[in-house]
Amino acid sequence: MDHLRVFHDVARALTSSLELEEILGAIMNKMAQFFGPERWSLLMVDDKSGELYYAIAVGENAESLKGLRVPLGEGVAGWVAATGNPLVVPDVALDPHWSAFANKHPDLKIQSIACVPVRSGNKTLGVIQLLNSKLDLLSEHSISFLRILCDYAAIAIQNARSMTLIQELTITDDVTGLFNARHLYTMLEEEVARGQVFSLMFVDLDHFKSVNDTHGHLIGSRLLAEIGGLMRRSLGPNNAAFRYGGDEFVALLPGMGKAAASGTTMALCEDLRGARFLEGAGLSLSLSGSFGLATYPEDGNTVQTILRAADTMMYEAKVTRDNVAVAGKGMMGRGEATRSIDGSRRAVSEMFLERDSVPRN
């Protein structure tokens, strides 16, 4: 009857919340109530590093475990994660291998171990580890019950990952991998609500239609994907890039005033001019763009007005193409952009020359 009550409570947690931490906490609490361990934890597998990390830890020294990483194959949890097999040792004193492990780690004060993998299909997602549980409850029947609870945990983890993937798909452009226009509006609303300075850059690719007409839409899509990659590299991780539609792109530059944003825009303009695209397809295409830049709040203090200001500047640049137009400053021009970038490089060179001219003792 106790088992049925636990299953009911866990199933209700799975269906009443989409928050992974909340669901796993409910599962682990029910598990702890049933088995009464002195210490218990849920460790998750970090696929990138191949290590376990403590997602939940309760009991003595729990705080010290938060940043701890356990390599697969090491210790109790690492062995279970690496093999995918459960480990149940009612009394470590009667097991030579784990008795030796317990003696090497007296700080853990291990008397009994119950460690079960959390698996989905053939993949181990994590492990649940109970130390010093009630020994009379570590029967085969109880361990089967523990494994069923682990299956519930696996469902919760997979559901959370699916929700994360769905969320990513709803904000991502499937051709370029950049954010989509819907997410641009969301982020702009957040930036305006924050009230801090930011700049908005619009980019329209010059003569992109001729690429589609000459080489077909498949090549055009591959070109857009490479443009997206160039924007990510050029803008860096602190700025967000979006595909606005067709061959139009947008960059959100948080915390950047007009001077810094102008430099970033001209640098991206030069990177685009200097790049060669679709070399893997044997084409080696060159490309340029028309850039428009506006800064919040001086050029627009709402989402719509800042969008309109940057878009208007982009259309001004399209008159001549291969150009940069900045709200309040006008056309920067290719020569202006080159002089600005060369000036920045010259300033850096002069700084090093000045440093090298300082007498050394």
Question: How far is Cα 38 from Cα 221, in angstroms, rounded to an integer?
Answer: 58
Whose tokens are 């530059």? That residue is 253
Identify whether the C-beta of residue 88 lies closer than 8 Å to the C-beta of residue 133: no
**What is the spatial distance between Cα 267 and Cα 185, in angstroms, rounded to a whole number?**
25
Query: What's the token pair of residue 281?
Result: 């397809």
Phi/psi of residue 106, each to 5°?
-60, -25
Distant-in-sequence contacts of 137-140, Cβ < 8 A, 24+ apart:
137/34, 137/35, 137/36, 138/35, 138/88, 138/90, 138/112, 138/114
| Residue among 200, 320, 313, 314 at smallest CA distance from 247 | 314
* Distance, CA of 356 to chain centre: 42
Find the angle CA(188)-CA(192)-CA(196) to the nearest 5 degrees.
Answer: 115
Distance CA 348, CA 361 (A): 24
Beta carbons of 249 and 173 less than 8 angstroms apart: no
For residues 253 and 239, the answer to whether their CB atoms sit within 8 Å is yes
Q: Which of 173, 204, 206, 247 is catalytic?
A: 247
The question of whether 247 is a catalytic residue gets the answer yes
Classify burial at 252, counting beta carbons within 10 Å of its beta carbon; exposed 0-12, middle 13-18, buried 19 or more: buried
Strand partners, 285: 277
Q: Is 75 exposed, middle or buried (0-12, 13-18, 19+ CB in 10 A)?
A: middle
Active-site annotation, residues: 247
